[in-house]
Amino acid sequence: MALRFFNTYSRELEEFEPRDPAARRIGIYTCGPTVYSRAHIGNFRAYIFEDLLQRHLELRGYKVHRVMNITDVDDKTIRGAREAKVPLAKFTAQFKEAFFEDVEILRIKRANEFPAATDHRYIDRMIQMIAMLISRGLAYQADDKSVYFRINEFPNYGKLAHFDLAQLQSTGRVKHDEYDKEHIGDFALWKAWDEEDGDVKWDSPWGPGRPGWHIECSAMATRLLGNQIDIHCGGVDNIFPHHEAEIAQSEGVTGKKFVRYWLHCAHLLVDGQKMAKSLGNFYSVPDILAKGYTGRELRYALMRVHYRVPLNFTWEGMNEARESLGRIDEWLERLQKMVGTPRRGVRSAQRADPAIQFEEALDDDLNISAALGFLFESIRETNRAMDENKLDAASASAWLDWWKRINTVLDLETEIEVVVPAEVAELAEERENARREKNWKRSDQLRDRISAFGWEVRDTKDGPKLTRHGAASSG
């Protein structure tokens, strides 16, 4: 099956054809965080979706160059810095750092570049683009000294969101105090400095000020990825006005179609509601870790639902994620053991037939739910074969190779070597002795003591096996 994605622009599933099919190199631009506070798990749902996208494209042989911007200057960052009484750069640095910590915890592949809005290279580029837009009549400086994009001069404005410009005038939420603008929908390219901005300002042909939010992405995207990019992603809430504005600015400057495929991810809900601090359902990655869950468990929980479907985050869902991952872990361990110590008496070697359906499901607009369905079906089938002693080492090895391949996309394997504390190991040994003497009472007491250390002992054919209990498990 050909690779296809749902393009927000056409609202249709489209076969993916990169700009340069021969080179198999593709450029992806993803809207990153605004570093005014710690990012929440809803933000990370989007980043995990983008991670899945990148990894699957790479599995399919594409060489992906991905850019994710960091917005480190806007109203909120300026306000935050002012309230904290620290320079803007210092204020945002802590959240940049936190962002990268969380990215690591969630095993999100780092973008090739993380341009920051305050980097002078991009400020220069933004100024250059704004000047060009003015010279083409697509932008103007208003009486308030700010520069605005003239949406009436860009006929395609509204095409991505499927908005009718006339409609914009009738919404109640538009601020009517912005009388300086020609059209209520005109958006700021350059915001003139005012007192509240303090020392946050850059010189420009239109006086001191700072860039508008939208122009930053156009500048970075076109500078780092060229005039046309293959895929541009973000959350659905970015469709309007942000991405609409990006199209207007970029195409207004380059005259070329800016983005071939627009992919947008649905929101994360918490307990069926939008995340909000006032509702007490607002979580960051450390909040989840504090509840005893691991990064990979959260990764799984955020990844397992198709990106265009709203995902409802619940603690029950986190437990499901943990159990499902445990199932994968057990399966892998069993296969590894089979490869390591081939048993005699294995009869007909069941031909390992690692399912291509997994990858084909992902080809279909990243249908991760279907892909995981195939994974778990495969797990049950191979487990059954192993139970019946019908899987040989070669087949087990083939399944492991398959896992290794799909895990380049999932990245869900436990990574931390489990180290059993000496005291737990001792107790386990004592318990084995008791069991050999058929002293079941003592054996069960020892199991309880082991349990008190947070470990669980299981008696297998190959002897006792120690695993960490639920929340405390590593990796």
Binding to RNA in span 5-24, by CB under 7 A: 11
Is 74 near RNA (CB under 7 A)?
yes
Rule CB under 7 A: say whether 386 interacts with RNA.
yes
> Cβ contacts of residue 458 below 8 Å, gap of 6+?
464, 465, 466, 467
Q: How big is the chain, counted in residues?
A: 475
| Residue 179 sits in the site that holds RNA (CB under 7 A) | no
CB 84, min distance to RNA, A: 18
Report the distance separating Cα 298 and Cα 313, nearest Å.
Answer: 10
Q: Which stretch binds RNA (CB under 7 A): 62-70, 135-143, 259-267, 404-412?
A: 259-267
Rounded Cα–Cα distance for residues 216 and 329 (Å): 43
Among positions 20, 97, 203, 323, the unique one binding RNA when judged by CB under 7 A: 323
Question: For strand 229-235 and strand 25-30, is the pairing parallel, antiparallel, or unpaired?
Answer: parallel
Q: Which residues pair with 6 in a beta bridge?
A: 13
Residue with structure tokens 């850019």? 67
Residues 399-418 that bind RNA (CB under 7 A): none
Over the window 95 to 124, marking each residue x when it contacts RNA by CB under 7 A and - when it does not, the resulting string is ------------------------------
The verdict on 248 binding RNA (CB under 7 A) reads no
Q: Can you tell me which of 88, 126, 130, 268 binds RNA, judged by CB under 7 A?
A: 268
Site membership for RNA, residue 147 (CB under 7 A): no
- Per CB under 7 A, contacts with RNA among 430-449 are 435, 440, 443-444, 447
Q: Which residues contact 451 (CB under 8 A, 6 or more apart)?
A: 469
Instruction: Please give the backbone phi and psi of residue 207, each rounded to the nearest 5 degrees, phi first.
Output: 100, 175
Tell me if 429 contacts RNA by CB under 7 A: no
Report if residue 272 touches RNA, rule: CB under 7 A.
yes
Tokens coding 432: 């084995």
Within residues 276-315, the interface with RNA by CB under 7 A covers 304-306, 308-312, 314
Q: Dump strand ranges (E) for 52-206.
A: 63-68, 139-141, 147-149, 188-192
User: Interface with RNA includes 223 (CB under 7 A)?
Assistant: no
Q: Taking the alpha carbons of 244, 247, 253, 255 in that order, is the dihedral positive or negative? A: negative
Q: Which of 58, 124, 144, 364 binds RNA (CB under 7 A)?
A: 364
Residues 352, 399 contacting (CB under 8 angstroms): yes
Out of 376, 429, 433, 474, the only residue in the binding site for RNA (CB under 7 A) is 376
- Note whether 174 binds RNA by CB under 7 A: yes
